[in-house]
Amino acid sequence: MRLIMYYTLNINGGLMSLDRPKVMGILNVTPDSFYADSRMREESQVRERVWAIVSEGGDIIDVGACSTRPGGRPVSQRKEMERLRMALSIVRRERPQAVVSVDTFRPDVARMAVEEFGVNIINDVGSGADATEDSLSLGPMMDMVSYLRVPYILTSHQPTMEQTLMFFARYVQELRDRGQKDIIIDPGFGFGKTLEQNYAVLSCLVQLQVLELPVLVGVSRKSMITGVLGCSASEALNGTTALHAVALMKGASILRAHDVREAVECCKLAGRVF
Could you give the residue numbers annotated as active site?
222, 256
SS3 label, residue 197:
helix
Q: What's the number of CA atoms in the CB half-sphere (13 Å) around residue 222?
A: 22
Q: In this structure, are residues 248 and 255 in contact, taking their beta carbons and an 8 Å threshold?
A: yes
Q: What's the number of CA atoms in the CB half-sphere (13 Å) around residue 4?
A: 8
Tell me the C-alpha to C-alpha distance, in Å, between residue 71 and each of 34, 74, 129, 157. Answer: 10, 10, 13, 14
Q: In this structure, are residues 27 and 49 in contact, taking their beta carbons and an 8 Å threshold?
A: yes
β-strand partners of 121:
101
Q: In this structure, are residues 225 and 183 in contact, taking their beta carbons and an 8 Å threshold?
A: no
